[in-house]
Chains A and B, each alone.
Chain A
Amino acid sequence: MSDTLAFAPIPQVLSDDEVPFVLSLAPDPRRFQDLGGAKYRRGSDRYTIEWPLGPIGLRAVVLCAEGHSFLMANAGPLLTDWWPILRRGSSSPDRPLVSACLAGEKITMQTDDLAIDLTIVPSGGEVDYTTVVLVLGDGFSPDEMTLAHHVSLAAIKVALLLAAEYRTLVDTVPDMAVPAGEGTIDLADMLTLADEVANQITWSPKQR
C-alpha cells in the first residue's frame, strides 16, 4: 500500500479547519480517492479517511501541526458540558473510557495481531468536541499514512464508544434532532446507531 498511499494525489476538497464528526450520516458529495476500501479527501494540512458502511461513513482525520502528525477521531460535543462535572466525580464502571481519560491513562485498543495506545482529549478552550488521538510521526510519509489507514478504525471505535458512555451518563437522552444531510435524525437514534456500528468494528479495548 505504501506505493499508492500518498498525500499529494488525494483530491484537495477539505477546508483547513475541518475535523468532521466520526459518524457521517449522509453521503459526502465531494471528490475522493479510493484507497484500500476507504475514501480519502485532503486539505493543505490534513486528510480524512472515511470508511463507507452502507449509507453512512466512519471518519478519522490525520492532521499535521507543528511538525507532528496526529490521527484523530472527533467524538462530537455531547460530553463538552459534562467534563467539569466528570472531573469532580469518581470513576465509574459504567464509563470505562471516560474514567481512564480522567485518570490520565491511555486507551489500549487491540486486534489479534495489533495493539495501539490512544489518548482521549476532552473538549476545552476553542475546541468544543472530544477527540481520540494517536501521535503518528512528523508528517505525511507513506509509512505514516499506511499506519493511519490500518489503525483509524480503532480511533473511530473509541469515539463511537464515547457516545455510548454519554448515553449511560445522561440516561434520559435529550429530545434533540441531529443534522443528517438535508434532514435530521433523533439524537437517541444516532446513539443507537453509533453503538451498533461500534459493535461491528473488530478492534476492542483492553480491559483496565
Chain B
Amino acid sequence: MGRREISEPFAISFADRPVPALRFLLQRDFKPSGVVEHLPDGLTVGMTPWFTEVVFELTETDTVAVLYRISKDDEYDLVVACLGESVEPFFKLLAGGDYGDELSKLVQRHWPEQYEMLRLSTAEVPGGRVMFTLHTPQRVQWMVADHLPVGDDFSSAQVTDLIGAALQTFLRFSQPSDLPGVIPVLGGPDLLSRRLKTISGLINNLNGINGAFEDGLDTDDLYGLAKDAWDFVQGIDELRRSRR
C-alpha cells in the first residue's frame, strides 16, 4: 500500500537513439510520420524503426486520435496513447516522500483506474493496462497503454476503450485539484497552487499540461478538445453496450 506500490512505473528508453518524440493523443491538421501507408479500411499507419503510428478519425472534424504500437519484449507489444509531459507534475507529488502516501490513498480511492495502471506498471505485471514513461533524447513522455500479444491485432472496441482511458487520465492528471481531498493534503488552496507551481514550474493546473502542446496545439483548445473527445468515446461505449 501507499506510494511505493505505484511510484516506479516501468520505462522504455530510446534516449540514446535519434528517435522523435511521440505525438500527443489528439491532433489537428495531422501529418503522419515515417513510411506512411493508407490501409483499405480507412486506417493510416506510419511505420518507423521504433514504433508504428496509427491514426484514427475520432469525429467528423479535423481531429484525429494517434496511437502507437511499440514492441515491449518477445511476448508483448504495447498499444500506446501519448499524454506528453502532462502527467509529470502531479506524478512527482504522488511519488514524492512529502505527500505521496496520502495522495496515493486518495488516488486509489477516487481514481482507481489510474492507480491500477501505475500499480501494474510498477509491479511489471504483463498483460494489463499500464501507465509508463517513454524516454527519447531530452524528453520524457507519459503513456497509457495496453499490452497486446505479439502478432495479435487490436479491435476498434479496444481502441476506443484505450482512448477513453487515456483521455480520462489526461483530464484527471492535468486538473489534480479535482481529486477529492487533495487540497487539505497539500495544505489548502494557496499552498496547493504554490506546490504545483514549484514542482512543475508552471503557473496553474491547466498550464501544467504544457508538454502536451509541443505539436502546436493551442493551450485553450486542448482541454476542451479532450473533453469533447471523451464525450465522443463515452458515446461510442454507450452505443456499443446498447447493442449487446
Contacts and interface: CB of A to CB of B under 8 A. Distances in A.
Contacts of B32: 171
A170 B49 contact: no
Nearest to B21: A172
A82 B49 CA distance: 6
DSSP majority for the A interface? loop
Contacts of B23: 172
Contacts of B20: 170-174
A170 B23 CA distance: 12
B37 interface: yes
Interface string B10-51: 000000011111010000000111111100000000011110
Nearest to A94: B36
Nearest to A186: B138
A175 B47 contact: no
A101 interface: no
Contact of A84 (B18, B33, B49, B138): B49
B18 A176 contact: yes
B136 interface: yes
B96 interface: no
Given A81-B49, A175-B137, A187-B18, A89 B33 contact: no
Interface in B119-150: 136-139
Nearest to B19: A174
A122 to B, nearest CB: 13
Contact of B48 (A85, A92, A176): A85
A30 to B, nearest CB: 28
A200 interface: no
A88 B35 contact: yes
Contact of B49 (A85, A90, A172, A176): A85
Interface string B191-203: 0000000000000
User: Most chain-A CB neighbours within 10 Å: which of B23, B36, B215?
Assistant: B36
Contacts of B49: 81-82, 84-85
Nearest to B37: A89
A21 to B, nearest CB: 14
Contacts of A88: 35, 47
B33 A81 contact: no
A170 B33 CA distance: 6
B37 A170 contact: no
B47 A89 contact: yes
B47 A81 contact: no
Contacts of A86: 35
A25 B18 CA distance: 19
A56 B50 CA distance: 33
Given A84-B49, A89-B37, A174 B18 contact: yes
A102 to B, nearest CB: 11
Given A81-B17, A174-B18, A175-B21, A169 B137 contact: no
22 contacts: A81-B17, A81-B49, A82-B49, A85-B47, A85-B48, A89-B36, A92-B36, A169-B33, A170-B34, A171-B20, A171-B31, A171-B32, A171-B34, A172-B20, A172-B33, A172-B215, A174-B19, A174-B20, A174-B137, A175-B138, A175-B139, A176-B18
- When A and B form their complex, which 4 residue pairs have the shortest distance between CB atoms, in order from nearest? A89-B35, A171-B33, A175-B138, A172-B20
Interface of B: 17-21, 23, 31-37, 47-50, 136-139, 215
